[in-house]
Structure 1
Amino acid sequence: MPQPSQDDLKEISRDYNRLWQFPNCIGAIDGKHCEIICPAHSGSTYYTYKNYFSVILQGAADANKIFIAIEVGGRGKQSDGGTFHYSVLNKLMESGRFNIPPPDMIPGTTCSLPYVFIGDEAYPMKTNLMRPFPERSLNDERRYFNERLSRARKCKCN
């Protein structure tokens, strides 16, 4: 897939803000297990907690559910966070080569924040990757934030 430009990512961010009221978001990321026949001599490397063998498709999608980045090949026993850690997307983000725009003002405020991908609790918190607050530390504000992040991440109407 072609890598999105900074202008593409800013347009995605505008869509996330317009459709899901989640500013500076450049995509939602998640992993999906794809069932396979056990590769020869692989042991339990591809065996999942779901009791089958799989490879993981990790994808990032825009506010309209269109993929902007895809990677296939994570081994079934890896978590989404582990798959992300070893992914090309993470390496490009860490090295500054993914074209993520510099921090920008949140519309309607004087607050400047980084552009971020959003993921579920299996993903690590990073400068350009946001996840929900852990359940054990929720108060009303954090619960509201988690609901907004979840709505944007799932891209579906209430």
Structure 2
Amino acid sequence: MVTKKDKRKAAACYYYLTVKSRRRNRRTHRYWVRDWIKRRSNKTIMETLLEEREDPECYKNFLRMSAADFKYLLDKIKFAIEKQNTHMRNAIPAAERLAITLRFLATGDSYHSLMYLFRIPVCTISRIVPEVCAAIYNVLKEEYLQMPCTEEEWLQKSQQFAEKYNFPHCIGALDGKHVLIKAPKQRGSLYHNYKGTHSVVLMALADAEYKFQYINVGCFGRISDGGVFNACSLSNKLADNSLGIPTPRPLPGRTKPVPFDPLS
């Protein structure tokens, strides 16, 4: 027989479960745009510091490039990063998108830090930075990341190493760099490197003027530099001699042929 006490207990349990479910499903009110972000039109870093160009060194220190270089880069990629205004709001200008990305690349600041600096929400910055980085790479890669492909071009690179560093038959300086990342869930061991941190590996071949000729990025941090090199396309092209690298020839004052190789 069900007593009044049992009924009260059942009612209390029902009430508790109902209220808890409603609270769980209740949506927290969020701002469409925070008030201090709405006032960004004339208070952002773009409208204050970056427009006051009487100190070129400070400008260059902030974005790691001069105002002239910034304009040159903006003119190159503007078509790829510019957005159209809508009835709801004005688009963030291409110049500001580029400035946000350059500041991120120069300092590694968090998106939250950039939010307060530029008065742009984190969710928007998280889209801007990858988009602008992709645009910079896609637009400039053929002009600034060009690997030599003829014997004459490789000989010119080798001559630069011989003249500047007294190192003949060198076609480039090859090395790897661990880029720290936050370990992905359930895959952290793949990125755990010998330094005890998590990273992806950037491997690059640079000429005597510190200009990149080839890059490979994204390999797991646990893999050694040798393993990264063996897995990259540069290793395969060197092995099958498809890069137009000069045939071995004697060093100055010698008779035995010596191959042209990267310095690592």
| TM-score past 0.5 threshold | yes
Deviation at 1:43, TM superposition (A): 3.7
Unaligned runs of 5+ in 1: 120-158
Deviation at 1:59, TM superposition (A): 0.5
**Cα distance in 2 between the residues matched to 1:95 and 1:87:** 13
Q: Equivalent residue for 1:61?
A: 206
Q: Equivalent residue for 1:3?
A: 147
Calculate percent identity across the aligned residue pairs: 36
Radius of gyration: which is bigger? 2
Extract structure 1 runs of 4+ deviating beyond 4 A.
Answer: none
Unaligned runs of 5+ in 2: 1-144
Q: Is the 8 A contact 2:202 2:218 kept in 1?
A: yes
Q: Equivalent residue for 1:98?
A: 243
Instruction: State the one-letter code of the partner of 2:158.
Output: S
Q: Equivalent residue for 1:81?
A: 226
Deviation at 1:116, TM superposition (A): 0.8
Alignment of 1:101-112 (within 5 A): 101-112=246-257
**Cα distance in 1 between the residues matched to 2:241 and 2:220:** 26
**Cα distance in 1 between the residues matched to 2:250 and 2:172:** 18
* Larger CA deviation: 25-34 vs 96-105: 96-105
TM-score (norm 1): 0.70
**Cα distance in 2 between the residues matched to 1:105 and 1:76:** 39
**Cα distance in 2 between the residues matched to 1:13 and 1:107:** 13
Q: Is the 8 A contact 2:188 2:198 kept in 1?
A: no
* Larger CA deviation: 108-117 vs 25-34: 108-117
Task: For CA contacts below 8 A with separation 6 or more, give which structure has more relative contact order.
Answer: 1
| 1:21 aligned onto 2:166 | yes
